[in-house]
Structure 1
Amino acid sequence: MNLAQLERMKNDSGFIAALDQSGGSTPKALAIYGIPKEAYADETEMFQMVHEMRTRIMKSPAFTKERILAAILFEKTMDQKVDGKYSADYLWDVKGILPILKVDKGLLDLENGVQLMKPITDLDALLIRAKDRHIFGTKMRSVIKEANPAGVKAIVDQQFELGKAIAAAGLIPILEPEVDIHTPNKAEAEVLLKQEILEHLKTLDTSSQFMFKLTIPDVDNFYEAVIQNPNVIRVVALSGGYSREAANEKLARNPKLIASFSRALTEGLKVNQSDEEFNAVLDQSIQSIYEASIK
Structure 2
Amino acid sequence: MNTQMADKVSNAGGFIAALDQSGGSTPKALRGYGISDDAYSTEEEMFDLMHAMRARIIKAPAFTGDKVLGAILFEMTMDRDIDGTPTAEYLWNEKQVVPFLKIDKGLMDEENGVQLLKPMAGLDALLARAAAKGIFGTKERSVINAANAEGIKAIVDQQFEVADQVLAAGLMPILEPEITITISDKVEAEAMLKAEILKHLDAMPEDKQVMLKLSLPSTDNVYADLIAHPRVMRVVALSGGYGRDEANDILTRQNGMIASFSRGLAEGISAQQSDEEFNATIATAIDSIYTASIT
TM-score greater than 0.5 by the shorter chain: yes
Indicate the residue corresponding to 2:288 in structure 1. 288
Aligned pairs for 1:215-254 (under 5 A) are 215-254=215-254
Deviation at 1:168, TM superposition (A): 1.1
* Alignment match, 1:151: 151
Describe the SS at the equivalent of 2:270. coil
1:152-206 residue CA offsets vs partner (Å, 9 max, x unmatched): 0000000000001101110000000000001111000001000000011122100
Take 2:75 and 2:211, find their aligned partners in 1: how far apart are those partners? Answer: 20
C-alpha distance in 2, partners of 1:4/1:280? 30
User: CA offsets, 1:241-267, max 9 Å, x none?
Assistant: 000000000000001000000001100
Tell me the alpha carbon deviations over residues 195-241 of structure 1, each in whole angstroms, 9 at most, x when there is no partner: 00001112210011100000011111110100111110000000000
Letter of the structure 2 residue corresponding to residue 45 of structure 1 = E
Amino acid in structure 2 at the alignment position of 1:35 = I
Moved over 3 A (4+): none
How many residues were matched structurally?
Answer: 295
What is the letter of the counterpart of residue 197 of structure 2?
I
| CA drift at 1:64 | 1.1
Match of 1:48 in 2: 48
Which SS does the other structure have where 1:29 is aligned? helix
Code of the residue aligned with 1:14 in structure 2: it is G
Q: Could you tell me which residue of structure 1 aligns to residue 203 of structure 2?
A: 203
Residue 98 of structure 1 deviates from its aligned partner by 0.2
> In the alignment, what sits opposite 2:93?
93
Q: Which residue of 1 aligns with 2:81?
A: 81
SS at match of 1:261: coil
Q: Could you say which residue in structure 2 is the equivalent of 1:39?
A: 39
- Where in structure 1 are there 5+ consecutive unaligned residues? none
Query: What corresponds to 1:176 in structure 2?
Result: 176
Unaligned runs of 5+ in 2: none
Q: Percent identity?
A: 58
Deviations 1:81-127 (A, max 9, x none): 00111000000000000000000000011111000010011110000
Which residue of 2 is the match for residue 11 of structure 1? Answer: 11
SS of the equivalent of 1:58 reads helix
1:96-175 residue pairs with structure 2 within 5 A?
A: 96-175=96-175
The letter of the residue matching 1:39 is A
CA distance in 2, matches of 1:207, 1:169: 15
Taking the aligned partners of 2:167 and 2:227, their CA distance within structure 1 comes to 18
Q: Note the alpha carbon deviations across 1:25-79, whole angstroms, 9 max, x for none.
A: 0000000101111100110000000000000000000111110000000000000
Instruction: Give the Cα separation in 2 of the matches to 1:264 and 1:97.
Output: 18
Amino acid at match of 2:3: L
- Residue 4 of structure 1 deviates from its aligned partner by 0.7
Return the offset for 1:131.
Answer: 0.7
SS class of match (2:100): strand
Normalising by structure 1, we get a TM-score of 0.99
Aligned to 2:28: 28
Report SS of the residue matched to 1:218.
coil
SS at match of 2:101: strand
SS at match of 2:143: strand
Q: How does 1:271-282 map to 2 (within 5 A)?
A: 271-282=271-282
| Partner Cα separation in structure 1 for residue 277 and residue 233 of structure 2 | 36
